[in-house]
Chains A and B, each alone.
Chain A
Amino acid sequence: MTKLKIKNRLAQDRLMLWSVCLFAALTAVPLLAILGEVLLRGYDQLSWSFFTEPTPTAYKAMKAIEAGAPIPGGIANGIIGTMIMLGMAVVVAVPSGILCGAYLAENPKNRFAQVVSYLTDLLQGTPSVIIGIITYIWVVVPMKGYSAIAGSVALCIMMLPLIIRSTEETLKILPASLKEAGLALGGNKARVMMKVQLPAAFGGIFTGVLLAISRVIGETAPLMFTALGCSFIRFAVDKPISAVPLLIWEFFNDPNLQELIWGASLFLLLFVLTLNLLSKYLAKKWNQ
């Protein structure tokens, strides 16, 4: 009787293990399927000119398709636009996010800090399309036009909560002895934060910044309201500008350019994957 019971229990255990493994494998299926699909369709579009030339006009693309040639041009305008907007967003979001995270980590019981912390959570959960429309009202309307600045404001708002959280979490797991040792030497709180705590937390914060970048680099909706798009390479920050995810949307809407979707998607996907792997690697290295 008991032997049978034990056998039953072991069988249950095995069954559970198998089903857990099965579902774990299932979650990997979509990712692999997406990667495979994009890779297969986008691979032959990747060439040097794809990264150096701007989007072709619909007419040029149509001519090329008629002639059976590959579509000329590339996504350089989108890559440059994405980099410009990301750069501006990072310059603002990183320092302010780190300072805010430091404040939250140092004053967990302060009423104001608790409110800020809660708002950070809310901001993180705000749909990006809403951030886009708000930025439109705040920036595009007063500036009387779509611009890279407006796009970077939207991206910056989206990055902030991620940077704040990662800074806060990293600072909180530092041993308290580090801060106390700094203060015991006569440093004031600000100096101990700048010279001891933040440098010690650098790895975690940097990882958080990379993840924040990879999170917003694919954002499309907020850029539709703010950056609008542009079919040629442009460096001006007060004019409409393109971005890789915007291009994908434009390609989708233009039957002549649809072939370009896959190259652009592949680029974006690989970029995000690289950032993710890099941040994982850095986090691991930092934890050692």
Chain B
Amino acid sequence: MESVTPILEFKKTCVSYTKQTMAVKYVSAAIERNTITAIMGPSGCGKSTLLRAVNLMHNLYPNIRVDGEILLNGENILAMEPIDVRRRVGMVFQRPAPFPTMSIYDNVLSGFVLNGIKLSKVEKDATVERCLRSVALWDEVKDVLNKKGTFLSGGQQQRLCIARALAMKPDVLLMDEPTSALDPIATKHIEELLLELQKEVTILIVTHNMGQAKRISSKSMFMYLGELVEYGDTETVFSKPSDERTKAYLTGKMG
């Protein structure tokens, strides 16, 4: 039975910014372990809002309400402590945001510092190497680990941010359009990386780019005006969308 528990499950999840309008409306979906799930849809349709509900980012803004349930390994996130949830659910943002005052080395370890976890020098070195290797950045930066994170190129910065999130060994990695600020080559690197990473971590990625969803995800969600219109295997969603709105979006008639 244990193996069929989805790692992440939305149950009638709603998010509202004001009392009158809901940005995310009754989304229910189960995310499978070690997959990449893409969330597609036009701008302002609640993709990022849904994503940010998972690591309780909305808690920072008192006027935002999240209702329903979001289960992480069967446990309702909304009833958990944010710092606990966020340690188990990593997030990578649209713009690469390495901490500007920290070196590359310290950026990778920042999760431990922020959680008040002390590591020995050996553990630190091992963690930094493991994480930078898993984002294919080790060979490029191993000689400049003491330079500031902002010294890297945009694509490298984004990989550093992924490494930083992976260092905490999260169950789920949330990615909010992680390549939209990057050039095509850097985007390709990140996409290849994500395909590799899904062996370790379940990835939920918001993307504007249909091609990207098609290339990397095994499951796709299509959101429109806050509703989850369609959710299924990426291949099916793209080849035989069951909803007219998905079809219109995929063929470029909408979006």
Interface core residue of A177, A183, A200 (most chain B CB under 10 Å) = A183
Q: Within 8 Å CB of A175, what residues of B? A: 95, 97
Which residues of chain A are near B82, meaning CB under 8 Å?
Answer: 183
Contacts of A182 in B (CB 8 A): 99, 110, 114
Listed stretches A33-41, A59-67, A161-169, A187-195; interface member: A187-195
A185 CB within 8 Å of chain B: yes
Smallest CB-CB A-B distances: 4 pairs:
A187-B114, A186-B87, A199-B101, A184-B91
Contact with A along B83-103 (1 / 0, CB 8 A): 110110011010101011110
* A238 in contact (CB, < 8 A): no
Interface string of A197-235 (1 = CB under 8 A from B): 001101000000000000000000000000000000000
Q: Which residues of chain B are within 8 angstroms of A188 by Cβ–Cβ distance? A: 83, 114
Is A141 part of the contact surface with B, judged by Cβ < 8 Å?
no
What chain A residues lie within 8 Å of B97 (beta carbons)? 175, 177-178, 180-181
Report whether A180 and B168 are in contact in the complex, using a CB–CB cutoff of 8 Å. Answer: no
Q: State whether the Cβ of A133 lies closer than 8 Å to any Cβ in chain B.
A: no
Q: Which residues of B contact A (CB under 8 A)?
A: 55, 57, 60, 62, 82-84, 86-87, 90-91, 93, 95, 97, 99-102, 110-111, 113-116, 161, 164-165, 168
Does A283 reach chain B (CB closer than 8 Å)?
Answer: no
Q: Which residues of A contact B57 (CB under 8 A)?
A: 180, 183-184
Check: A99 CB closer than 8 A to any chain B CB: no
> Closest residue to B85 on the A side, CB-wise?
A186
A200-B93 Cα distance, complex, nearest whole Å: 18
Is A116 an interface residue when CB atoms closer than 8 A count as contact?
no
> Inside 8 A of A109's CB, which chain B residues have their CB?
62
Q: Give the residues in chain B near A186, CB-CB below 8 Å.
A: 83-84, 86-87, 111, 114-115, 168
Cα A183 to Cα B61 in complex, Å, equals 13
Across the interface, which residues of B come within 8 angstroms of A181, CB to CB? 91, 93, 97, 99, 161
Question: Chain A contacts of B100 at CB under 8 A?
Answer: 178, 200
Residues on the A chain within 8 Å of B90, using CB: 184-185
A residues in contact with B93, CB < 8 Å: 177, 180-181, 184
**B116: chain A residues within 8 A (beta carbon):** 191
Shortest distance between the CB of A161 and any CB in chain B (Å): 26
Residues on the A chain within 8 Å of B164, using CB: 185
The contact of B55 among A177, A184, A195, by CB within 8 Å, is A184
Q: Does A196 contact B (CB under 8 A)?
A: yes
Interface flags, A65-98, vs B, CB<8A=1, else 0:
0000000000000000000000000000000000
How far, in angstroms, from A180 to B94 measured CA to CA in the complex? 12
Say yes or no: A187 contacts B83, CB within 8 Å: yes
Chain A min CB distance to B206 (Å): 14
Taking the closest CB of chain A, its distance from the CB of B177, in whole angstroms, is 13
List, sorted by A's number, 30 A–B pairs whose CB atoms are closer than 8 Å: A175-B97, A180-B57, A181-B99, A181-B161, A182-B99, A183-B57, A183-B60, A184-B57, A184-B90, A184-B91, A185-B90, A185-B114, A185-B115, A185-B165, A185-B168, A186-B84, A186-B87, A186-B114, A186-B115, A187-B83, A187-B111, A188-B114, A191-B115, A195-B110, A196-B99, A196-B101, A196-B114, A199-B99, A199-B102, A200-B101
